[in-house]
């Protein structure tokens, strides 16, 4: 019998950072059928997890995490830095100023963790060169 706990772990931590008073972590979620691949990301905002599928591709990771963060802020009653997008009750985004600041914090955290963006906007891990 197969071990039912195979690949149920969260995967690897991509990066973690603070934005204001909030702590944010991003984990990869492994694919249970295709070892070595992942199905999405787990965004954790102050210990509140949100799963985001990779179905749309990794090129928009900056946008995905910003929109999910806006959803989190809405769920905890923070209304000052978010706006309703597309006039839908469940569709929230960060306002312009917050979006820019949040993207800078996220990008800095990813670069500090060893990731770089390619020409299409995908984040790729680049191993750090060891000094001789």
Residue ranges of domains in the chain: 13-117
For 104-123, write each residue's pLDDT tens digit.
999 999 999 999 999 998 89
Neighbours of 124 (CB within 10 A): 10
Return the residue matching tokens 């191993």.
127
For 20-57, write each residue's pLDDT tens digit.
999 999 999 888 888 878 899 999 999 999 999 987 77
Neighbours of 99 (CB within 10 A): 20
**Residues 2-39, buried b or exposed e (16+ Cβ, 10 A)?**
eeeeeeeeebeebbebebeebebbbbbbbeeeeeeeeb
Q: Which pLDDT band holds residue 129 (cuts at 50, 70, 90)?
A: low
Question: What global pTM score does this model have?
Answer: 0.85
């Amino acid at each position: 019998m197969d071990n039912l706990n195979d690949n149920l772990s969260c995967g690897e931590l991509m990066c973690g950072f603070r934005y204001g008073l909030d702590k944010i972590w991003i984990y990869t979620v492994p694919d249970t059928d295709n070892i070595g691949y992942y199905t999405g990301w787990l965004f954790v905002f102050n210990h509140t997890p949100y799963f985001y599928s990779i179905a749309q591709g990794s090129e928009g990771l900056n946008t995905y995490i910003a929109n999910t963060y806006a959803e989190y802020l809405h769920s905890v009653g923070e209304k000052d830095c978010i706006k309703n997008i597309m006039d839908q009750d469940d569709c929230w985004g960060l306002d312009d100023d917050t979006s820019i600041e949040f993207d800078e914090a996220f990008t800095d955290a990813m670069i500090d963790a060893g990731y770089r963006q390619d020409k299409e906007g995908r984040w790729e891990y680049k191993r750090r060169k060891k000094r001789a």
